[in-house]
Each structure stands twice: as C-alpha cells, then as structure tokens.
C-alpha cells in the first residue's frame, strides 16, 4: 500500500510533466508542428533545405468541404507574400463585379476652336491599373481626332481620386528603380515605368541600348561593356545612375544574354507623365508649350475624351497571372467606395465584406493588397477558408481563370513541367526574402479538386520551392 508521500508524488507527476512540456515549448526545445505530420517527400525536402516544420503552414482540403486531408500549423499567422493577392482580387470581384471598369478623362476649360484649345487641359484619373503606353497613346490620338492640335495652357494632372501618404520606392528593399516598387496613383500611366532594350553586339564588341518608351528629353549615357560569362543574373551586373532625365548605365552585359528588356521607374510621377505626354503629343502632330503640373479639375470643365479600362475580370487576370504589385495596389484602393479613396478606407470596406460573408480571419493583416510587405499576415487556414468561399461564389470562374497554371503560364510557366500537376494546378505563388507560398486549386488523378495552401516563413525559404512542389505532387497523384 503506497504511503501518503508516494500518493502526493504520483499526483504531482502529471503536473510536473506538463510543466516540463510547457517549458520545452517556451524554450524552443520541442517544435509546435512536427515533420511527422507531413507527407514523407515534403518532410524530406524541408529537411534538405534546412527549414523546420514549425516554419511551415499547410492546409489541404476538398473544395466541397469536410475535414482537411492535411492540416499542419494551419492557424499560425504568417507572411503570404504575393499569395495575399488572392484576398484582394477575390474581394474585388465580389464587391465590384467582374464587369467593373475605371475611367480616365480628358477635360478642358473651353471647347477647342479651329484646332486650338485655349486654357488648360486636365487629365483626371480614377485609379485605372492598366493605363499602359498603348492606351495612353490611344487617348491622346482620340483628342487629336476631335480636332485638337494646339494646347495653349498647361496640362493639369488630377490625382484627387486617391488620398495617399508619401511613398518611398526604396523603402521595401532599397531598389527604388524597380517598377514593382512604384506606389499607387490615381493617375497611373504606363505603370510609372520606362522600358529599355539591351542588345549584345558581339561583332562590334559593344552593348546597344534602345529606349522603347517614348520620352522627351531622355538621354542615355551608355557606358556598358560586353561581358563574356554566362548570362545568369545579368541585371545584378549593371550599375544605374539617374540625374534628371539622364540615365547612366555602366557595368557589364554578358554577350550570352543576347537581348534583354530592362524596365525602370526612374522619375517622379509628374516627370514621367510629362516626358511621355510631350513625346507622344509631338509624334501625333500636336503642339504644346505649357507646363505639366499637378492640380484639380474645376467644376464645369468640358469633357473631351473618356478612356474606359479593361474590365475587372481582365485586370484580375493580369494581377494574378503575373503577380503585378502596382496593379494590385490600385485595385486594393478601389475597394474604398469613398472619394478620395484611402488605404484605411479600403481596409474598412474589406473588413465589412469579410464580416458580411462570414469569413472571420482574425489573424489577417493587409496593408497594401499586393503582398509586397513585411507586415502582411494571414494563416494557411484563413486562405483555405477564403478559397472555399470563392469556390462557391458566382465569381469562381473569373478567379480560377486568373491563377497561373502549373507548367503552362504566368509565374508557374517554368515550374512543375511534365508531371502529374502540369495543367491541373491553378495556384497563386508568393516569394519574398524569407517567404515562399502557394495557394489555389489542384485536380487529382481521380478527378477530385482540392484546395491547397502552403506557406513558409524562414530565412531559408528561398530553398523551400522543392517542398511546396512535393506537396502539390502529393495531392495531384492521389
């Protein structure tokens, strides 16, 4: 018969064991999520990459509901990188409708007479995510076709549809010239970018630089030398200096690259629009001697030309297929029905939509809608819940059609080729330093469709592609 001391000791044992486990968790001695919970190929790929299971969140579940086939670390808030675009684009399709469009208007103080426009010309934006070079040229051509050949006043750029804080393009990754770092703009023209073409001339032992975007006043100071190594990450071998409208390029461009396009965002929005406008207007035979400046359109201004954007359904396809951050930022702000639209207003509208659709995502933090963020957070379970709702939504077809197809197009064109997932996985990808993600739909060998979400947040996340691909193949091979 045990003594009273032995009874008290036995009673304390489970409690002490509990404390030991709790202490181990707090001190990191035991992982919160175990590799044993994962398919063997996924665990092996993570181990080879040096990524702990606790840094991974995964959900696999049937589109028609039921318990998850696989749930690993599913509730943990994690950075989804560009997979956050699923939240923005699905919400926009439901809140605005796939046929929604943006209008860019050209207005004037007076109607033109004898080809001359007295007073100012106003270019008023509404946040069009895709007012690219071709569309801007067509807008100006329409103005010429309506008889305007000379503008005697100034060109006023009206961005009043958005109210935004000052944007630092170098804040995210110290790459201010990269177009993906351009901020949102109610009058976004040609993605705020300039396109150059670099051509290796092996015969002349030189590199030719061609400005593909019309830009009045642009001067290219080409100091590039022709390199002899592999093409590799050729852009890292370039050095760029912007001084006003002059761009100096130095460094080496490998001959093995042949021809490469180089997109830059070298100027402020006003300077970029002015340079493009003056060049195109001159090409169209128009005359303009005024200034280009920011301002507001006065009440009673006469509308001369209106450009309507592609539909939201088409815009969403560009955003998701090619992970366009600038377009995603534009779309996110458009969620705010108030004018001027603000980031906080867009967040409030999104939160109201989630609540109305019974989509509680308490861990969700969305700051710009694109996923180009260090602060953005969502869980694997949250994204899976969103995709399950999207599958039942009237806009399901538009959303799925916008996602890259494994081994076929978009950001998945070169990935998962010649395997069981090729052509049968529609997925949004995400990649940042320390982050890798996939989220979308996979059709397995039996014809059953699954929601698949995989998030990795770890310093070695760049090596995590093999683990996410193994997850997709594990689902597709079922």
- Residue ranges covered by each domain of the chain: 35-99+313-476, 103-168+269-309, 194-264
The pLDDT tens digits for 341-378 are: 999 999 999 999 999 999 999 999 999 999 999 999 99
Distances (CA, A) of 266 to 24, 172, 193, 237, 418: 52, 16, 7, 18, 40
The pLDDT tens digits for 214-261 are: 999 999 999 999 999 999 999 999 999 999 999 999 999 999 999 999
Percent of the chain whose pLDDT exceeds 90 = 90
Percent of the chain whose pLDDT exceeds 70 = 92
The DSSP code for 267 is S
The pLDDT tens digits for 125-138 are: 999 999 999 999 99
Neighbours of 6 (CB within 10 A): 10
* Mean of the per-residue pLDDT values of the chain: 93
The pLDDT tens digits for 159-216 are: 999 999 999 999 999 999 999 999 999 999 999 999 999 999 988 899 999 999 999 9
What length does the chain have? 478
Query: What pTM, to 2 d.p., does this model score?
Result: 0.90
CA–CA gap between residue 194 and residue 451 (Å, rounded): 39
Return the pLDDT at 203: 85
The pLDDT tens digits for 98-114 are: 999 999 999 999 999 99
- CATH (residue range 103-168+269-309): 3.50.80.20
The pLDDT tens digits for 52-64 are: 999 999 999 999 9
Distances (CA, A) of 304 to 106, 148, 248, 254, 273: 6, 10, 39, 49, 19
250 pairs with which residues across the strands?
A: 223, 239
Task: Based on DSSP, count helices (H) and strands (E) in the chain, helices before strands.
Answer: 11, 19
- Residue 415, token pair as written in the block: 């990935």
DSSP sequence for 303-367:
EEEEEEPPPHHHHHHHHHHHT-HHHHHHHHHHT--SSSB-HHHHHHHHHHHHHHTT---TT-B-S
Return the pLDDT at 32: 41
Mean predicted confidence (pLDDT) in 331-349: 98
Residue 421, Ramachandran bin (φ over 0: left; ψ between -120 and 50: alpha; else beta): alpha
DSSP sequence for 368-413:
SSSS--SS-BB-HHHHHHHHHHHHTSTTHHHHHHHS-BTTTSGGGT
Angle subtended at Cα 457 by Cα 425 and Cα 60, rounded to the nearest 5 degrees: 35
- Residue 83, token pair as written in the block: 């997979």
Pick from 146, 159, 213: nearest CA to 186: 159
The pLDDT tens digits for 259-270 are: 999 999 999 999
Higher pLDDT pick, 227 / 22? 227
- Residue 49, token pair as written in the block: 């990459």
Distances (CA, A) of 265 to 268, 291, 326: 8, 22, 12
CATH architecture of 35-99+313-476: 3-Layer(aba) Sandwich (3.40)
Return the pLDDT at 204: 83
């Amino acid at each position: 018969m045990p003594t009273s001391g032995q009874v008290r000791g036995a009673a304390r044992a489970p409690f002490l064991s509990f404390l030991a486990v709790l202490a181990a968790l707090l001190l990191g001695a035991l992982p919160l999520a175990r590799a044993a919970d994962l398919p063997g190929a996924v665990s092996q790929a993570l181990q080879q990459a040096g990524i702990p299971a606790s840094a991974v969140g995964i959900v696999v579940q049937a589109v028609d509901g039921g318990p998850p086939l696989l749930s690993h670390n599913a509730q943990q808030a994690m950075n989804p990188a560009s997979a956050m675009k699923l939240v923005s684009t699905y919400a926009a399709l439901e809140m605005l409708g796939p046929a929604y469009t943006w209008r860019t208007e050209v207005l004037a103080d007076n109607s033109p007479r004898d080809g001359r426009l007295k007073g100012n010309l106003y270019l008023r934006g509404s946040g069009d995510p895709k007012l690219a070079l071709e569309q801007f040229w067509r807008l100006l051509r329409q103005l010429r076709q309506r008889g305007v050949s000379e503008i005697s006043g100034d060109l006023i750029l009206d961005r009043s549809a958005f109210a935004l804080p000052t944007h630092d393009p170098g804040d995210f990754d110290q790459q201010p010239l990269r177009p993906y770092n351009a901020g949102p703009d109610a009058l976004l023209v040609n993605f705020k970018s300039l396109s150059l073409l670099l051509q290796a001339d092996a015969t002349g032992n030189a590199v030719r630089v061609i400005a593909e975007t019309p830009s009045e006043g642009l001067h290219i100071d080409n100091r590039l030398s022709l390199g002899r190594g592999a093409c590799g990450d050729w852009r890292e071998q370039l050095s760029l200096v912007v001084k006003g409208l002059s761009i100096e390029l130095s460094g080496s461009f490998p001959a093995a690259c042949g021809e490469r396009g180089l997109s830059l965002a070298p100027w402020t929005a006003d300077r970029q629009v002015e340079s493009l406008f003056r060049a195109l207007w001159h090409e169209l035979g128009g005359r303009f001697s005024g200034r280009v400046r920011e301002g507001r359109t006065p009440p009673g201004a006469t509308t001369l030309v209106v450009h309507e954007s592609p539909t939201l359904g088409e815009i969403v396809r560009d955003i998701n297929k090619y992970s366009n951050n600038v377009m995603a930022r534009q779309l996110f702000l458009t969620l705010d029905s108030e004018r001027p639209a603000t980031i906080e207003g867009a967040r409030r509208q999104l939160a109201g939509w989630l609540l109305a659709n019974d989509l509680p995502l308490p861990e969700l933090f969305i700051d710009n809608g694109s996923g180009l963020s260090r602060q953005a957070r969502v869980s694997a379970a949250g994204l899976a819940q969103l995709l399950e709702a999207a599958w039942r939504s009237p806009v399901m077809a538009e959303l799925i059609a916008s996602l890259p197809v494994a081994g076929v197009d978009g950001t998945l064109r070169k990935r998962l080729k010649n395997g069981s997932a090729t052509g049968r996985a529609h997925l949004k990808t995400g990649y940042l330093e320390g982050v890798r993600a996939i989220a979308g739909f996979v059709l397995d060998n039996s014809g059953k469709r699954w929601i698949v979400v995989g998030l990795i947040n770890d310093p070695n996340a760049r090596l995590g592609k093999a683990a996410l691909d193994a997850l997709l193949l594990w689902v597709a091979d079922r």
